[in-house]
Amino acid sequence: MAIASNDLSSNSLFSLHGKTAILTGASGFLGRTFCRALLVNGARVVALGRSERLQTEAAAWASEFGADKIAIERIDMYDVVALNELCDTIATREQRVDILINNAGITRRAPAVEFSVEDWNDVIAMNLTSVFRLCQSAARPMLERGYGKIVNIASLLSFQGGITVPSYAAAKGGVAQITKALANEWASRGVQVNAIAPGYMATELTQALQNDATRNRQILERIPAGRWGSPEDMAGAAVFLSSPASDYINGHILVVDGGWLAR
Task: List, in order, residues 6 or more apart from 31 with CB less than 8 Å away.
Answer: 23, 24, 25, 47, 49, 54, 103, 104
Nearest to 1 by CA among 152, 192, 185: 192
Rg (CA), the chain: 18
Crossing angle for the helix pair 232-242 and 29-40, to the nearest 10 degrees: 50
Query: Which residue out of 78, 168, 200, 248 is catalytically annotated?
Result: 168
Give buried/exposed letters for 43-75 (b at 16+ CB in 10 A, else e): bbbbbbbeeeebeebbeebbeebeeebbbbbeb
End-to-end CA distance of the chain: 37
Nearest to 23 by CA among 61, 13, 4, 9: 61
78 included as an active-site residue: no
Query: What positions carry a catalytic annotation?
Result: 168
